[in-house]
Amino acid sequence: MRVTRDSLIRIAKETVQQRVYNDKDIVAAYLTGSLLAEEPMLGGTADIDLVFVHKIKPAKGREFVKLTPDFHLDISHRAKDEFKTPRELRGDPWLGYEMYDPMLLYEREKFFDFVQASLRAGFEFEQPPLMLQRCRKLYSHGRQIWMNLTEVGDKAGPKELRQYFKSLYHAINVIAELSGPPIQERRLMLEFPARAEAAQKPGMAAGAFGLIGANNVTADEIKSWVGDWKSAFVSASEKTGADLRVHPARVNYYEKAVKFMLEGETPLAALWPLLHTWTLSVEVLEGDQVQFWQKACEKLGLLGTVFEEHVQGLDQYLDEIDILLEEIAKENGIGDF
């Protein structure tokens, strides 16, 4: 079956037509994510990121719908009330960019036009004051998560490592938002070097790779982990309580992307999606599947006494970001932000 960007967009439109016909609570629907780019595929796979806006708070916030083994719908459900005042929306590092330039597929009551016009008013969205406001929110969230890790010591397990990755994810996206929207998880380390370069901080990319232990492994070693990762992912996707992102529809979405990156120019970029989803998976597993993950993390230097060193390294990384934001503020004559 030949799948193209156009055919995936057509599926998105058909899905919206079907949903709005059966659900009169929907006031708007739009397409976001990788399909807005000319080359949305990674390893021959892609998801269709749809957002439905409802009059009232929906019963579920996110769902995945399998189309084929390589393609699925990733549907977010938002309440109309989530679209705050224009001032708040422009300072939101996630929702602000999501609403800035998506593909509108449906609306009633001119909801979308009003929100987007308010967001874009005065061409202020990409200017330093609002950019720094969004970056500072990401930084503050990452720093708060880091603070919760300072007492863990050498007792780190899947839950603690998950929080470590979450803090680092926010830190990386502070740098990314200096030149554009946040980077999504699957492409994080693939796209980050260019974004760090755009921010004139290329060393931040090397620092991020170091913080996930990439300096301790080779591409061949990561390849040897793919089978154990997949086994854990599939097992966890069948269990109640697993993170929603560990979903049966997303096995190929991650596996083929990981293998594609491992054969590419930046093979160690595959480490983030593999290790992050592996960690999410083993939170609900036990036995050998957890031990395989532990061995990989030990090889990366992410468990045991060295975990404290990584937490300290993350502290320094966050400090560098804090200094950078202050410098940008001073250069642009911006006071407290």
Q: What is the pLDDT of residues 240-287, one digit of tens each?
A: 999 999 999 999 999 999 999 999 999 999 999 999 999 999 999 999
Residue 300, amino acid: L
Instruction: Name the residue among 49, 106, 53, 97 with its Cα closest to residue 75.
Output: 49
Let me know if residue 337 belongs to a domain: no
Same domain for 114 and 24: yes
Q: Nearest 5°: CA angle at 111, between 109 and 116? A: 150
Same domain for 198 and 111: no
**Secondary structure class of 282 (helix, strand, coil):** helix
Supply the CATH number for residue 117's domain: 3.30.460.10
pLDDT at residue 38 is higher than 70: yes
The 10s digit of each residue's pLDDT in 281-308 is 999 999 999 999 999 999 999 998 889 9
Same domain for 272 and 238: yes
Residues 6+ apart with CB under 8 A from 6: none
Let me know if residue 15 belongs to a domain: yes
Q: Which domain holds residue 303?
A: 128-320
Let me know if residue 267 belongs to a domain: yes
51: part of which helix (H) or strand (E)?
A: strand 46-54
pLDDT band at 101 (very low <50, low <70, confident <90, very high): confident
Let me know if residue 330 belongs to a domain: no
Same domain for 135 and 107: no
Give the separation between CA 203 and CA 187, rounded to whole angstroms.
19
CB of 144 within 8 A of CB of 104?
A: no
Overall domain count for the chain: 2
Phi, psi dihedral angles at 158 (to 5 degrees): -55, -40
Per-residue confidence (pLDDT) for residue 269, from 0 to 100:
98
Instruction: Name the residue among 111, 27, 43, 106 with its Cα closest to residue 267.
Output: 43
What's the half-sphere exposure (Cβ side, CA atoms, 13 Å) at 193? 10
